[in-house]
Amino acid sequence: MFASTGDPAARARLAATLAVAIRPAAPPASRCLPLDGELEALLPEGALRRGSTLVVTGPPAYGATTLGLSLLCGASAAGHWCAAVGLDDPGVVAMAELGIDLRRVVFVPRPRGAWAVAVAELFEGADVVLVRPPARVAHTAARRLRARARERGAVLVVVVEHRDDWPVPSWISLEVTDATWHAPGRLLERRADVLVTGHGVLRPRRIALWLPGPRGAVAAVR
């Protein structure tokens, strides 16, 4: 489901309308949302904790957006509504290969100045909201969105280029620190090192992932 409009006020109204359309009929019964099996080792509980904020960082072409989107795979496949804000060209085929159920994801690709409004409104109905802000996030906006996710029992996934682009603490930070493309045969694979830190992690640790792997999905390097 894609949504885009040029008027900021209209974008805000559209986000509110979408939130109503996807609002769950019952309150969340679990404190966690599922992850794809290959990603369970990334997080302390092997799942997305409701009310939490995760920040994914990495330079361009390192796979940070791919990693962020992959966090939607398990939840969407289990029937939970998700949303992605600010991804100008999300790549439908690539997302399907990641394992995302596109029938359960709302896309608002060009929110521009209204991106924070769109995210806040989508928390009314979506269990996981991914956002790629257009610039460094103001401290006040970051605190409000983090509080909104906690209040609604949803998960906020923020994809930024630098750590300082998200100025408030997060439950988990996933930083893609290195990435190298490999071409075995006709297939392209990107091997990436991910540094896992945050309030939910006792000690920092590094995990090697394929972003993506040979079949398009994220996979652990073994």
Check residue 25 and give its pLDDT: 40
Q: Indicate if the pLDDT at residue 5 is higher than 50.
A: no
CATH number for the domain including 186?
A: 3.40.50.300
CA–CA distance, 178 with 140 (Å, rounded to integer): 31
CB of 218 within 8 A of CB of 38?
yes
Domain assignment of residue 3, yes or no = no
Could you read off the pLDDT of 49-87 as tens digits, one per residue? 999 999 999 999 999 999 999 999 999 999 999 999 999
Domain assignment of residue 193, yes or no = yes
Percentage of residues of the chain with pLDDT beyond 70: 84
Domain count for the chain: 1
User: Could you tell me the pLDDT band of residue 27, with boundaries at 50, 70 and 90?
Assistant: very low
Tell me the average pLDDT across 176-186. Answer: 81
CA–CA distance, 128 with 36 (Å, rounded to integer): 14
Could you read off the pLDDT of 100-131 as tens digits, one per residue? 999 999 999 888 778 999 999 999 999 999 99
Domain assignment of residue 2, yes or no = no
Q: Which residue has the tokens 């000690």?
A: 203
